[in-house]
């Protein structure tokens, strides 16, 4: 670990592709809003709106557009863009076949009827949904939330460069930072090594254990909870972020921790999504990324450590971010502390393990969560949130 008093220059990881993309263009400043008059309009879904922000702010560098057909096919078949750049998930914009012909040239992208950006349509091509489901999600089962969303979308994909008129700070203006803004904070704090942590679930003691073990090795911790669309039974983003806030207030070193939300939508693509999560955190300035058990998984569609093993498809220098692989972590009653299979000799009946489903069931039933599983302050945030739903 470097020392924070080291006077040498801060050199953050180069964004994927060499340059941090910036496609944010402000009406009245970067262009005349009158130019949009009479153009066709396309209303974005939750996921497409999140993708627009990720593209325009550089979180998905080197992409500047929804994928072309050549890139789409290459990503599915080879987990690379057509030029060979590592990339694992198709970032596409789906429309219905009957309306696809309306979208030519420049299209105004809208959200709730309000113009939020533009798309310069360069291609319209057929979605290969069966192939996409098999390659990306490893299943065509419509019970998989990612597959369900894929088949519910249109059959034609539009491709071309995008612009975004303003970064939507949304429900978390204090924590909503673009990749460039996160990089500025990292540089200002003098962090030469930064580990990023992704989660869509409420924070618990096993997460805290991973954070603090890693903080022994690096200068700073970027807590980066995903706050885009998730499946209906996941804990709402507002509750999860509040849980982070109360935990950080009492149990983390403020100067070495940054809470910043990650506005992407969840795809539940398991191993392939783990790659995207890592590559995009490189764009945010992280040098390390934690990948734990069943990262970005759902149900039993992926093996416990598939999301760790898939990174062997790339050379380390291609990824440009160091992957930290952790095994399942839990509280052992006999050891009296947080452990993993690497450090604990006891059988499963000694362990306190609560799945996300079990946590939600206990909260809905008004039951508390044990202190060995999560901090009391976090448990209270979760309890209050579920009580308010009743």
pLDDT in tens, 246-290: 999 999 999 999 999 999 999 999 999 999 999 999 999 999 999
- According to the 3-state scheme, what is the secondary structure of 116-179? EEEEEECEEEECCHHHHHHHHHCCCCCCCHHHHHHHHCCCEEEEEEEEECCCCCCCCCCCCCCH
Catalytic residue from among 23, 200, 205, 267: 200
What gap in Å lies between CA 303 and CA 313, rounded to an integer?
Answer: 17
Which run of H or of E encompasses 258?
A: strand 257-259
What gap in Å lies between CA 92 and CA 54, rounded to an integer?
Answer: 12
What gap in Å lies between CA 212 and CA 72, rounded to an integer?
Answer: 38
What gap in Å lies between CA 343 and CA 366, rounded to an integer?
Answer: 34
Angle at CA of residue 255, ends 251 and 259, nearest 5°:
70
Of residues 15 and 7, the one with the higher pLDDT is 15
4: pLDDT strictly greater than 70: no
* Token digits of residue 333: 């009653």
Output the pTM of the full model: 0.94
Catalytic residue from among 128, 201, 256, 383: 201
Point out the least confidently predicted range of 66-75, 227-236, 352-361: 352-361
pLDDT in tens, 82-123: 999 999 999 999 999 999 999 999 999 999 999 999 999 999
- CATH number for 179-389: choose from 3.30.230.70, 3.40.50.620, 3.40.470.10, 3.10.450.50: 3.40.50.620
Please count the CA atoms within 13 angstroms of the CA of 288 that sit on its side-chain side: 22
303: pLDDT strictly greater than 80: yes
pLDDT in tens, 208-236: 999 999 999 999 999 999 999 898 888 88
Structural domain boundaries in the chain: 33-164, 179-389
Please say whether the structural domain 33-164 has been given the CATH code 3.10.400.10. yes
Give the per-residue pLDDT at 5.
55
Give the per-residue pLDDT at 241.
95
The answer to whether residue 201 is catalytic is yes
Point out the least confidently predicted range of 3-7, 72-76, 236-240, 246-250: 3-7
* Mean predicted confidence (pLDDT) in 372-377: 92
The answer to whether residue 362 is catalytic is no
Edge-to-edge order in the sheet of strand 330-332: 337-339, 330-332, 351-352
**To the nearest whole number, what is the mean pLDDT of the chain?**
94
Give the C-alpha distances (Å, rounded to integers) separating 18 from 78, 160, 187, 207, 252.
21, 20, 18, 32, 33
What gap in Å lies between CA 91 and CA 84, rounded to an integer?
Answer: 16
Kindly state the DSSP code that residue 246 receives in the 8-state scheme: H
Of residues 360 and 350, the one with the higher pLDDT is 350
Percentage of the residues of the chain whose pLDDT score is greater than 90: 85
Give the per-residue pLDDT at 7.
63
* Mean predicted confidence (pLDDT) in 330-351: 94
In sign, the C-alpha dihedral spanning 303, 351, 247, 4 is: negative
2: pLDDT strictly greater than 60: no
Give the per-residue pLDDT at 252.
96
Give the per-residue pLDDT at 10.
77
Give the per-residue pLDDT at 106.
97
């Amino acid at each position: 670990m470097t020392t924070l008093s080291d006077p040498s220059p801060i050199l953050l990881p180069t964004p994927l592709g060499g340059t941090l993309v910036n496609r944010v263009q402000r009406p009245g400043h970067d262009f005349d809003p009158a130019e949009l008059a009479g153009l066709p309009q396309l209303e974005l879904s939750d996921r497409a709106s999140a993708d627009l922000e990720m593209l325009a702010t550089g979180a998905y560098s080197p992409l500047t557009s929804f994928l072309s057909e050549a890139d789409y096919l290459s990503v599915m078949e080879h987990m690379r863009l057509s030029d060979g750049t590592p990339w694992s998930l198709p970032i596409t914009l789906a429309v219905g076949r009957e309306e696809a012909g309306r979208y030519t040239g420049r299209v105004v992208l809208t959200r709730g009827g309000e113009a939020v950006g533009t798309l310069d349509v360069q291609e319209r091509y057929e979605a290969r949904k069966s192939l996409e489901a098999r390659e990306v999600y490893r299943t065509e089962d419509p019970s998989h939330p990612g597959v369900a969303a894929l088949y519910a979308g249109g059959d034609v994909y539009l491709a071309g460069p995008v612009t975004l008129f303003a970064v939507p700070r949304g429900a978390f203006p204090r924590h909503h930072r673009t990749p460039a803004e996160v990089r500025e904070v990292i540089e200002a704090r003098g962090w030469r090594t930064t580990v990023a942590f992704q989660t869509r679930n409420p924070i618990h003691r096993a997460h805290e254990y991973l954070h603090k073990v890693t903080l022994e090795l690096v200068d700073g911790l970027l807590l980066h909870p995903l706050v885009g669309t998730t499946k209906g039974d996941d804990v709402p983003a507002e509750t999860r972020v509040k849980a982070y806030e109360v935990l950080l207030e009492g149990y983390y070193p403020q100067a070495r921790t940054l809470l910043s939300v990650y506005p992407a939508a969840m795809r539940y693509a398991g191993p392939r999504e783990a790659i995207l999560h890592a590559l995009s955190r490189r764009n945010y300035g992280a040098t390390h990324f934690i990948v734990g058990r069943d990262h970005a998984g759902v149900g039993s569609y992926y093996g416990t450590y598939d999301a760790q093993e898939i990174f062997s498809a790339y050379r380390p220098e291609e990824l440009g971010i160091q992957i930290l692989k952790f095994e399942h972590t839990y509280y052992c009653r006999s050891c009296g502390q947080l452990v993993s299979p690497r450090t604990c000799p006891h059988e499963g009946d000694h362990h306190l393990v609560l799945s996300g489903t079990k946590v939600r069931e206990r909260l809905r039933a008004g039951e508390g969560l044990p202190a060995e599983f999560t901090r009391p302050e976090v448990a209270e945030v979760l309890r209050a949130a579920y009580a308010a739903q009743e």
